[in-house]
């Protein structure tokens, strides 16, 4: 547990907050990720209202506590030593999905597959690609998630963002978010509470057929189990998976972590495994691909709690 004076003050104020019942100390954090490995968070807060989120922002901005927005945990690797700060999870009230004509307004905690299916059932098209992405709307905007030739920036109009360091609430137009391949200008302290997407009128039957095709393709080409999807971003004009596979790394194992035999850009974690094993395997893959192909891969997975010396800033 972080024992710095400013952090003790953070804990004191969280204990007196209106949402104190939703505050957990030394709470499992790695277990909330799709890798299901890694340590605890000094503090884990589940937020169920906009007022509570603003109150939380006031506390952490005053005390300077480090924050982490967890989302669905589908793109995080948490160190075995955990995260020394305040981890934030948006509760069910932030998971709403509302359709108005061809516009969809979804909460930051809304699941992408559910948004995809809801939009299709409402006779809209443009978001089918997201049915195979096991993340949240907020996380998808943060990394400009995409697949099957589409990505978030294709349909995003705006996002409501709370800055935990300042306690400010703003509506950010898509063009101000600097959305590019698997990145945006959103900071770690920014919480996406809702987003508006502009879709197009479509045929529900065609949409449902497209969704079925995407689900079938992903089942055939990507592994299930404990992983966080693509580990490395694709370098320009090539595929990280192809580079890893042709370097002969499919099936490579370090401890409790293994490169998937089904898709080389996926790392599978054993039940009860170690986050350090996954990180070591990432470093080994990066080194061997550089040696074999002369290409320096960069992590798509967000590393939490490892420190800059282990490549957390990549």
Per-residue pLDDT of the chain (314 residues; tens, 9 = 90+): 776 777 899 999 999 999 999 999 999 999 999 999 999 999 999 999 999 999 999 999 999 999 999 999 999 999 999 999 999 999 999 999 999 999 999 999 999 999 999 999 999 999 999 999 999 999 999 999 999 999 999 999 999 999 998 888 999 999 999 999 999 999 988 999 999 999 999 999 999 999 999 999 999 999 999 999 999 999 988 999 999 999 999 999 999 999 999 999 999 999 999 999 999 999 999 999 999 999 999 999 999 999 854 433 22
Angle at 21 between CA 16 and CA 27, to 5 degrees: 105
Q: 286-313, pLDDT tens digit by residue?
A: 999 999 999 999 999 999 999 854 433 2
pLDDT confidence of residue 82: 97
Q: Which residues pair with 303 in a beta bridge?
A: 77
Please pick, among 160, 276, 300, 302, the residue that the annotation labels catalytic: 300
What pTM was computed for the model? 0.91
Give which of 29, 38, 34 is closest to 272, Cα–Cα.
38
Determine whether 274 is an active site residue: no
Distance, CA of 86 to CA of 92 (rounded, Å)? 19
Which residue ranges form the domains of the chain, and what is each CATH number?
Answer: 5-92 (3.30.43.10), 96-219 (3.30.465.10), 225-310 (3.90.78.10)
Angle at 243 between CA 241 and CA 246, to 5 degrees: 105
pLDDT confidence of residue 312: 36
Q: Tell me the CA distances in angstroms from 25 to 5, 91, 272, one per residue in order.
A: 16, 18, 21
pLDDT confidence of residue 271: 96
Q: 180-197, pLDDT tens digit by residue?
A: 999 999 998 899 999 999
Distance, CA of 25 to CA of 2 (rounded, Å)? 11
Please pick, among 230, 256, 260, 276, the residue that the annotation labels catalytic: 230
Are 228 and 32 in contact by the 8 Å Cβ rule? The answer is no
Distance, CA of 209 to CA of 203 (rounded, Å)? 10
pLDDT confidence of residue 308: 55
pLDDT confidence of residue 44: 97
pLDDT confidence of residue 314: 25
Determine whether 300 is an active site residue: yes
Distance, CA of 1 to CA of 79 (rounded, Å)? 14
Please pick, among 103, 182, 208, 288, the residue that the annotation labels catalytic: 182
Determine whether 230 is an active site residue: yes
């Amino acid at each position: 547990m972080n024992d710095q004076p400013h952090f003790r003050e953070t804990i004191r104020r969280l204990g007196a907050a209106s949402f104190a019942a939703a505050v957990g100390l030394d709470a499992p954090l790695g277990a909330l990720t799709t890798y299901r490995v890694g340590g605890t968070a000094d503090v884990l807060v589940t937020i169920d209202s906009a007022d509570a989120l603003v109150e939380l922002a006031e506390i952490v901005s005053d005390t300077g506590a480090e924050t982490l927005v967890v989302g669905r945990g589908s793109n995080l690797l948490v160190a075995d030593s955990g995260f020394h700060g305040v981890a934030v999870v948006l509760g069910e009230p932030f998971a709403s999905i509302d359709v108005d004509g061809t516009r969809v307004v979804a909460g930051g905690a809304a699941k992408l597959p559910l948004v995809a299916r809801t939009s299709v059932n409402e006779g809209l098209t443009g978001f089918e690609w997201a049915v195979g992405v096991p993340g949240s709307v907020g996380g998808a905007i943060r990394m400009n998630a995409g697949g099957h030739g589409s990505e978030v920036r294709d349909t995003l109009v705006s996002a409501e963002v709370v800055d935990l360091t300042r306690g400010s609430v703003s509506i950010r137009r898509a063009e101000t978010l600097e959305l590019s391949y698997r990145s945006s200008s959103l900071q770690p302290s920014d919480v996406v509470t809702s987003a508006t997407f502009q879709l197009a009128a479509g045929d529900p039957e065609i949409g449902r057929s497209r969704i079925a095709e995407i689900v079938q393709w992903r089942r055939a080409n990507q592994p299930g189990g404990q992983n966080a999807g693509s580990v490395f971003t694709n370098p320009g004009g090539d595929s990280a998976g192809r580079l890893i596979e042709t370097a002969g790394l499919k099936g490579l194992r370090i401890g409790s972590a293994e490169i998937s035999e089904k898709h080389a850009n996926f790392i599978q974690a054993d039940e009860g495994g170690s986050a350090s094993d996954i990180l070591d395997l990432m470093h080994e893959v990066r080194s061997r691909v550089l040696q074999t192909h002369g290409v320096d891969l960069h992590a798509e997975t967000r590393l939490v709690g490892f420190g800059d010396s282990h490549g957390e800033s990549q």
